[in-house]
Every structure is written in C-alpha cells, then in structure tokens.
C-alpha cells in the first residue's frame, strides 16, 4: 500500500468487562477497529469506522514545517538507517525505572541511537502551556477542531493550559483529532502530562477519546518480524467512562490486514478493578499473559474518580525492557501497570509524544453503547507536559 496508509497509527484500547469471557466478547463486539485516517476509513470486514490515526503524510503536512535545527519527525521517507535496532541485551535487572521517572536502562549500548539523539534536548524541561506557541510542540487541529495554548484555567497549577477542542458533529477517527505533539522524537524516557480529560456527562453516549501517548511509525518493519513496526504507548480515556483508563503497548501494526502485536490493560480506577490484561495479534483477540506482564496484580480504588473533573498526572516510563504507567491522583502515585514482560513486546523505536482528543463511533467502553457524535464541543485540557529522554 502507499506509504501514507502504511504508516497509519493505531490507537490502542481494549474493552474490559468483569469476566474473562466477557472481556474477549467485549473486545470482539466493542473494541476499536483500525483504519487509516487518510482516505480509507471503513473496514471491509466489519463496516465499522476505525480508530486509526492518519498517516504521517497527512499528519505532518497539516502541521507547521519544522525548521529548527535538528528537529525531525517521522515521515515516509525518513531514513531507516538511523532507526535503532531492537535491543537484545539482557538488562532487565538493571533497566528499572526509578520513582522519579528516570530510566536507567543500559541497553542503548547494544543498538545505535537514533539520529534524534544528537538533537537539542527536548527533555528535562516542562511545558506549562502558558504561552500561545510552545517551543517543543506542534499544535495540530484537524477536522474543524481547535488547539490553543495559554488559555486561563483556574484548576491549572499555573492558571494556564492548552485546550484540545473538537466541535459539535465532529468527524470520527483521529483524522479529526485535536492534538499536540512534540517536534522531536526520542527513544525511551519518561513522558508525563497533567490532563483533564473530555467531559461528556451532559451527553453520556458520546464517543470521544482523550489520548496521552507516544508514537513512532515509519512504515517499515525494522525489527524484521514481518509486521510494520508501530512504536506506541497509550493512556486513553473514553469520555463515557471517565472512571476507566485504557493502557496499551504496541510494537507492530500493519494497516492492510490489521496484523498487530500489542499488550493492553484496562483499569477502573474508581473501583480499583483491573478489567483486562491481554496480548493480541488481532483486533478482538485477547491472549493470556505471563505474571511479569500483569503487574501489579491489584490497583487501589479511588472512590469517585472521574478523570474529566480534575487534572491528574499521566506518566509513561519507557525503557528497553520495561514500561510503567503511573497516575498521580490527588498527590498519590498509583502504578496502573508495571510491564516487564518479553522485551520484544516493548517498542524499541523513536517516538513523538502526543496528547489528543477525537470522536470515535465504534469503541463502546465496558459494554456501553457510547458512539454518538458530540452535540456540543468537547474539550480536553493540558496543564503541563514533561519529556525526559532515556539514556
């Protein structure tokens, strides 16, 4: 297929329920199906619209041209020679992620750093979204959406935020997302944002996703496993279920036949229930995972948790052989998922860091039917974002 669609980006997510059989059934019935958000927005075998993000060609050309020295982005023509090879060293014991989010993985010695490693440092600084033109991010409004930074918000720690707004009647799929994304890409590191997710309480059946994630995909199968690499780590919250958090670790995805490799976890933070933890090679699939892939085995409940009412920190700590998803809720760190399973289930390629909001019309959370177009604008807001590249 054309490189554009080959580089379409999947947005992760699984549908969780209370029993194992229901989990799988829910995925089959309600989980997202993919599609490029360029032109092919319908999946022949299901007829349902996909959740796939647009191909980089559309993504990048819709954003301002990046001219700052050293900045790069994923493009179909990006030289794969600089793409890091999959790390193979056995460093699981030393590649822990510290409580402060600093990765200490040592596998970089086994693979060539990407070209971005020589770029001006992106990490170590926090974007507070206080000004209208953030230095390290591109604001990307699509499909009639708006993205603005420097807006007043009394809930924000500094009184200023970026707002991602999709309009009433927003088109489905991330092709119509409101999004911010880093100009640079990094491999490994700590990525965090303080976010208030979209609130659709006034229209509870709305389909809308707030995503906080890393993403890199050059359309190539750099690791040679037969499927296009897709480096992606996701937090996703559906506005119909602001009590649930969908986590995903993607390593591969091929748009043409939806071949994929990913692991997912769905947590209801209000109840503290882990609704599912799966490995999948196809949409709707849910294979059992090992103990090291489903840690922790319990998550504390946060009574009344609603991600759309307050700002919370969403942090991804990514190293060669470990991915940790942590939320900070009311000052308390909560480890939602400390994944340290097989390293070939962990992305090893460079990624940008993004936050977005988009309408979905085929992802029904937790058995609900919540796929309606928004009848009024929906907004997710970002108080701050920090990227600390790994070693």
Compute the radius of gyration of the chain from its Cα atoms. 19
Q: Kindly tell me which of 193 and 356 has the beta carbon lying closer to Ca ion.
A: 193
Residue 254 corresponds to which tokens in the numbers above?
Answer: 């091929």
Q: Kindly tell me which of 224 and 300 has the beta carbon lying closer to Ca ion.
A: 224
Query: At its nearest, how many Å lie between Ca ion and the CB of residue 227?
Result: 5
Q: Which of 221, 285, 301, 329 binds Ca ion (CB under 5 A)?
A: 221
User: How many residues interact with Ca ion (rule CB under 5 A)?
Assistant: 13
DSSP string, 313-358: EEEEEEETTEEEEEEEETTEEEEEEEE-S-GGGS--S-BEEEEEEE
Q: Are 168 and 374 in contact (CB under 8 A)?
A: yes
Q: Kindly tell me which of 18 and 80 has the beta carbon lying closer to Ca ion.
A: 80
Q: Kindly tell me which of 161 and 240 has the beta carbon lying closer to Ca ion.
A: 161
155 contacts Ca ion (rule: CB under 5 A): no
Q: Kindly tell me which of 223 and 243 has the beta carbon lying closer to Ca ion.
A: 223
Q: Kindly tell me which of 305 and 311 has the beta carbon lying closer to Ca ion.
A: 311
Q: Which of 223, 255, 313, 361 binds Ca ion (CB under 5 A)?
A: 223
Q: Which of 51, 160, 315, 359 binds Ca ion (CB under 5 A)?
A: 160
Query: At its nearest, how many Å lie between Ca ion and the CB of residue 253?
Result: 9
What 8-state DSSP symbol labels residue 140?
Answer: E
Span 351-390, contacts to Ca ion by CB under 5 A: 383-384
Span 110-149, contacts to Ca ion by CB under 5 A: 128-129
In Å, what is the CA distance from 332 to each residue of 127, 191, 344? 22, 18, 31
Q: Which of 227, 259, 282, 368 binds Ca ion (CB under 5 A)?
A: 227
Locate all alpha helices (DSSP H) within the chain, ordered by sequence.
3-6, 20-30, 56-62
312-319/273-280 β-pairing: unpaired
DSSP string, 16-64: --SSHHHHHHHHHHHS-B---SSS--B-TTT-PBB-PBPPHHHHHHHSP
Q: Which of 158, 288, 333, 376 binds Ca ion (CB under 5 A)?
A: 158
Residue 236 corresponds to which tokens in the numbers above?
Answer: 């996703």
Distance separating alpha carbons of residues 212 and 198, to the nearest angstrom: 12
Q: Kindly tell me which of 33 and 149 has the beta carbon lying closer to Ca ion.
A: 149
> CA nearest 231: which of 78, 363, 125?
78
Q: Using CB under 5 A, list all residues that contact Ca ion.
A: 128-129, 156, 158, 160, 221, 223, 225, 227, 229, 252, 383-384
């Amino acid at each position: 297929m054309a490189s554009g669609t080959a580089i379409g980006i999947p947005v992760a997510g699984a549908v969780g329920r209370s029993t194992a059989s229901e989990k799988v059934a829910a995925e089959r019935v309600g989980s997202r199906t993919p599609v490029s958000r360029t032109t092919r927005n319908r999946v022949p075998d299901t007829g349902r619209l996909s959740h796939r993000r647009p191909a980089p060609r559309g993504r990048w050309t819709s954003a301002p041209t990046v001219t700052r020295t050293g900045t790069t982005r994923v493009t179909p023509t990006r030289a794969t020679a600089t793409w890091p090879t999959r790390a193979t060293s056995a460093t699981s014991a030393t590649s822990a992620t510290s409580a402060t989010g600093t990765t200490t993985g040592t596998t970089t010695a086994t693979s060539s750093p990407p070209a971005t490693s020589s770029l001006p440092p992106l990490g170590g600084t926090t974007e507070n979204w206080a000004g209208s033109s953030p230095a390290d991010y591109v604001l990307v409004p699509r499909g009639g959406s708006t993205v603005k930074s420097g807006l007043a918000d009394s809930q924000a720690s500094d009184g200023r935020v970026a707002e991602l707004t999709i309009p009433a009647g927003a088109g489905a799929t991330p092709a119509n997302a409101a999004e911010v994304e880093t100009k640079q890409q990094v491999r490994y590191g700590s990525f965090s944002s303080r976010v208030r997710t979209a609130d659709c309480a006034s229209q509870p059946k709305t389909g809308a996703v707030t995503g906080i994630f890393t993403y890199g995909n050059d359309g190539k199968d750099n690791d040679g496993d037969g499927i296009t690499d897709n480096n992606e780590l996701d937090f996703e919250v559906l506005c119909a279920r602001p009590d649930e958090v969908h986590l995903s670790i993607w390593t591969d995805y091929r748009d043409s036949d939806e071949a994929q490799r990913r692991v997912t976890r769905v947590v209801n933070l209000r109840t503290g229930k882990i609704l599912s933890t799966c490995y999948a090679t196809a949409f709707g699939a849910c294979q059992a995972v090992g103990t090291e892939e489903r840690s922790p085995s319990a998550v504390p409940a946060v009574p009344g948790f609603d991600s759309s009412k307050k700002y919370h920190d969403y942090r991804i700590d990514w190293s060669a052989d470990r991915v940790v998803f942590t939320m900070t809720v009311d000052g308390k760190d909560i480890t939602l998922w400390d994944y340290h399973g097989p390293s070939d289930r962990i992305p090893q390629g460079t990624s940008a860091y993004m936050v977005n909001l988009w309408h979905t019309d085929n992802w029904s959370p937790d058995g609900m039917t919540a796929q309606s177009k928004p009848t009024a604008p929906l907004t997710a807001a970002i108080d701050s974002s920090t990227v600390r590249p790994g070693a």
